[in-house]
Amino acid sequence: MNAKSVVQTEPKHKQVGLTDAEVVDMYRYMVIARKFDERNLLLQRAGKINFHVSGIGQETAQVAAAFALDRQRDYFLPYYRDYGFVLAVGMSLTELMLSAFAKADDPNSGGRQMPGHFGSKRLRIVTGSSPVTTQVPHAVGVALAAKMQKKDIVSFVTFGEGSSNQGDFHEGLNFAGVQKLPVIFMCENNQYAISVPVKKQLGGRVSDRAQGYGFPGIRVDGNDALEVYRVVKEARERAVRGEGPTLIEAMMYRLSPHSTSDNDLAYRTKEEVEENWKKDGIPKMKSYLIDNGLWSEEQDEALSKDIHQQLKEAVEAADNAPFPKPEDTLLHVYANEGEEQ
Ligand SMILES: Cc1ncc(C[n+]2csc(CCOP(=O)(O)OP(=O)(O)O)c2C)c(N)n1
Ligand SMILES: [Mg+2]
């Protein structure tokens, strides 16, 4: 036996700083997010919920990014497809189902906002609004506060590549660059802005724009969980060292239609969608875990059964929960005497 053949290289997850348990946990969240999403599509078709904006095809990058952050202390400004992200930072399936069913106990908005408009004081998820990319300058504001208060935390914000062409994106990035703020911008480049393909949206790369604002821009394969984890972790380390923002462009593909109101085959082919299913990051992660002796088909089946049960309970709880009262419509819209702001 020569010396070369006994040299064992560490598996990639250890090289990037993840334990065996963490990388398995990461995969679990990806599968939970996928199954949550699929269930919502069914519930909408069955007439149980009104609307769903799907994140299918984007969970890998979302969950990997969450794991690279300080999930107990950082601030999060996710966008409407980020079910994987919010689940990984602690939102429960029941909470998300309460939102899908627009029930009074929905922690995101008490059933007032469309689903996918996340907000949780407990989880430091800053509430977002429907005009796309308005969360970018908000995230920059949170980072400015963190810097002024000398806290070693970051704010993390996501958005689509289509929205990255709006003013809010550029104003936010410019200010963050000037002030060297601890903010991580992650573009989930899913190749479409509703029906508009990426080649009609962008003349160059989203990641290259960071150069114009004086900080690093990195393009990463969004279907590669460990790579996304690595670059977000590095961005976080830079930010808390006081070296400023990072722009990350995670490349992926929106596997489902834009929303349940969209017929995607009016502007793209079935073949194109099928081709992109082959790049899905979730089965890739499963194979990685099996190849490294961390997972088995039996465990995968048990996980599916467990999630099925959890979803059943979450749907039942949300379906049976009360709707908001009509007389509560103006609560939290105008300041009420004695109400905590
Ligand atoms: C300011 C604004 N303009 C238009 C819309 C309508 N709209 C909602 S989602 C969307 C597409 C955004 O595409 P992208 O940023 O790539 O995100 P994706 O939906 O692909 O994840 C548009 C145009 C909006 N919500 N806000
Ligand atoms: Mg897009």
pLDDT digit string (tens) for 271-314?
999 999 999 999 999 999 999 999 999 999 999 999 999 999 99
Which has more pLDDT, 39 or 340?
A: 39
Classify residue 274 by burial, with Cβ atoms within 10 Å: 0-12, 13-18, 19+: exposed
Confidence class for position 332, pLDDT limits 50, 70, 90: confident
Listed residue (294, 302, 290, 253) closest to 274, CA to CA: 253
Confidence class for position 329, pLDDT limits 50, 70, 90: confident
Classify residue 1 by burial, with Cβ atoms within 10 Å: 0-12, 13-18, 19+: exposed
**CB 192 less than 6 A from any atom of ligand 1:** yes
Listed residue (307, 331, 332, 327) closest to 97, CA to CA: 307
Listed residue (178, 193, 186) closest to 159, CA to CA: 186
**CB 201 less than 6 A from any atom of ligand 1:** no
Nearest ligand by distance to the CA of 164:
1
Q: 312: which 2 tokens?
A: 């059943």
Each residue's pLDDT tens digit, 136-195: 999 999 999 999 999 999 999 999 999 999 999 999 999 999 999 999 999 999 999 999
For ligand 1, atom 8, the nearest C-alpha belongs to 132
How far apart, in Å, are the Cα atoms of 151 and each of 74, 240, 247, 307? 10, 8, 21, 37
Query: Could you give the angle at the alpha carbon of 276 between the alpha carbons of 96 and 235, nearest 5°?
Result: 65
**CB 197 less than 6 A from any atom of ligand 1:** no
Q: Worst-scoring range by mean pLDDT, 13-17, 56-60, 239-243, 334-338? A: 334-338
Atom of ligand 1 at shortest range from CA of 193: 13
Q: Which pLDDT belongs to residue 334?
A: 81
- CA dist 294 and 22 (Å) reads 11
Q: Which of 132, 136, 165, 259 to mutate to test the pocket of ligand 1 (most atoms within 8 A of CB)?
A: 132
Whether 55 shows a pLDDT value over 60: the answer reads yes
